[in-house]
Chain A
Amino acid sequence: EAQVTQNPRYLITVTGKKLTVTCSQNMNHEYMSWYRQDPGLGLRQIYYSMNVEVTDKGDVPEGYKVSRKEKRNFPLILESPSPNQTSLYFCASTTGTGSYEQYFGPGTRLTVT
Chain B
Amino acid sequence: QKEVEQNSGPLSVPEGAIASLNCTYSDRGSQSFFWYRQYSGKSPELIMSIYSNGDKEDGRFTAQLNKASQYVSLLIRDSQPSDSATYLCAVNKDQAGTALIFGKGTTLSVSS
Contacts and interface: CB of A to CB of B under 8 A. Distances in A.
Contacts, number: 57
Given A90-B43, A94-B97, A107-B42, A100 B103 contact: no
A81 B21 CA distance: 37
A43 B88 contact: yes
Contact of B43 (A31, A56, A98, A106): A106
A96 B98 CA distance: 7
B42 A106 contact: yes
A27 B19 CA distance: 33
Contacts of B104: 40-42
Which DSSP category, helix, strand, loop or mixed, fits chain A's interface? strand
Contacts of A45: 93, 99-100
Interface residues of B, number: 22
A45 to B, nearest CB: 5
B10 to A, nearest CB: 15
A48 interface: yes
A43 B97 contact: no
Contacts of A106: 42-43
Contacts of B73: none
Interface centre among A43, A50, A101, A105, by most chain B C-beta atoms within 10 angstroms, is A43
B99 A104 contact: no
Chain A interface size range: 20 to 34
Pick the most buried of B43, B44, B45, B100: most chain A CB atoms within 10 A of its CB.
B43
16 contacts: A31-B97, A41-B104, A42-B102, A43-B102, A88-B41, A94-B97, A96-B98, A98-B97, A100-B34, A100-B97, A102-B46, A102-B90, A102-B100, A104-B43, A106-B43, A107-B42
Closest 6 CB pairs of A and B: A42-B104, A104-B43, A43-B102, A100-B97, A100-B32, A100-B92
